[in-house]
Amino acid sequence: GAVVSQHPSWVICKSGTSVKIECRSLDFQATTMFWYRQFPKQSLMLMATSNEGSKATYEQGVEKDKFLINHASLTLSTLTVTSAHPEDSSFYICSARALIQGGGYTFGSGTRLTVV
Amino acid sequence: AQSVTQLGSHVSVSEGALVLLRCNYSSSVPPYLFWYVQYPNQGLQLLLKYTTGATLVKGINGFEAEFKKSETSFHLTKPSAHMSDAAEYFCAVSPSSGNTGKLIFGQGTTLQVKP
């Protein structure tokens, strides 16, 4: 079945530094990738939608200059949290949608980011 | 705009009892509907989905859900709960047409299974 690999699974960084999270579709081509943020005991909040080769579409209230998304190929999207602050600490999850029409959504295993 | 409401943020059942997790959606046209399960510090695993066709959908681990257009509902059920079913469950919708394909999630329901 479709597999999405997300790395790293957890990361601790200092305030002010940047962190990059990778999301790869291993056995299928992803038309679209989605990035979500999840706070403890809460639902997933969609941050942005990225299509290969074009700029990401950010949801209202999400700072595009802080959360940089790059979707360079049909199998790789990256989320870079720039100048991270403790309030950016969260669980980030990516999802990839298959190229075929009506393709399902496959989720990565998530990245636990802690900013100290 | 589409939205999803999961009634009950926390559901507790005894092992072997019926599991019923409620989900209602709001959409101008019937959307695609999904149920996902999430274990602690992990991503989401698809339990089942409804796109078209038969309104009773069977998924993995003995779960099933029925799409009821008249009630705008997509409740998740399992006849007999197992301890391993304890997790967070999310109902989600996406548009059945167009290219955005955004998944919109409900608030989630924590399922507790008591021995």
pLDDT for residue B92 is more than 90: yes
Contact A38, A15 (CB under 8 A): no
* Rounded average pLDDT over B38-58: 90
* CB-closest option in B42, B46, B108 to A43: B108
pLDDT for residue B99 is more than 70: no
List the structure tokens of A102.
């009506």
Q: Please give the pLDDT value at position A2.
A: 81
Q: Please give the pLDDT value at position A74.
A: 87
Q: Please give the pLDDT value at position A90.
A: 95
pLDDT for residue B56 is more than 60: yes
pLDDT for residue A98 is more than 80: no
pLDDT for residue A102 is more than 90: no
Contact B15, B113 (CB under 8 A): yes
B55 part of contact set with chain A, CB < 8 Å: no
Amino acid letter for position A96: A
Question: Partners of A69 in the beta sheet?
Answer: A79
Min Cα separation B4/chain A (Å): 11
B111 contacts on A by Cβ (under 8 Å): none
